[in-house]
Amino acid sequence: MSQEPAIRVENLEHVYRLGSEDVHAINNVTLDIWPQQMTAIVGRSGSGKTTLLNLIAGLDTPTHGHVWVLGRRLDEMDETAKLALRRETLGFIFQSFGLLPLLTAAENVSVPLRMRHLDRQAREARVAEALDWVGLTRRARHRPYELSGGEQQRVAIARALAARPQIVLADEPTGQLDSQTGRRILDLLRRLVTERAITVVIVSHDPQVMREADIVHELRDGHLLNTRVKAAP
């Protein structure tokens, strides 16, 4: 492992108001996420795992504590800097795939590249490479409704990959897929780590994810319950 974590979370708390009560979604969580590893954050619904992912991405602001991403402390960054961090460094994969329904697979993959103002030739090269990597070259002109759930998630992985992120954050990437298709998606995410040296963080309650991940952080009621490290083969 690298001596420095890709992501560091220290004494993190997130409290929000629900009616007349304060809800502690994240409660004094401290953990490190290491580079070029597949890390899973697991727990039942309501455990705080998606909230933690949003805090790591800078989409939510903690009530207390700090988050570092690649050595940069998020609360010392303004919104423009956080947006640039997400655009240039982070890739996102969602349970609902997050594809734009009127765009083809290739056009969906190109969206983050357009936001980075890459020229057309560079965009097309990256899109073609990413779709080939996930095995969807022949489906490049198809729209989401013409693709299976597994194919849509592979387009989402291609979209994240095309932006060449250092870290990919995946929120329940197998949640809408059957176990066999979910296994294929996990294999692709593992390849991001082994072939592309990308740090992958997966929020999930899928047992397959727990078995595949190098490190598993388990949350319960906003608390870090335990951390498990996979034994070397």
The predicted-structure confidence for 110-154, as pLDDT tens digits, reads as follows 998 988 888 999 999 999 999 999 999 999 999 999 999 999 999
State if pTM tops 0.85: yes
Q: What are the pLDDT digits (tens) for 68-105?
A: 999 999 999 999 999 999 988 999 988 788 899 999 99
Examine the pLDDT at 233 and tell me if it is beyond 70.
no
* Average pLDDT score over residue span 27-39: 96
- Residue 64 DSSP code: E
What percent of the chain stands above pLDDT 70? 98
Q: Give just the sign of the alpha carbon dihedral 165, 31, 50, 183.
A: positive
DSSP assignment string, 172-211: STTTTS-HHHHHHHHHHHHHHHHHH--EEEEEE--HHHHH
How far CA 13 is from CA of 26, 27, 107, in Å, comes to 5, 5, 38
For residue 138, the tally of other CB atoms under 10 A from its CB is 10
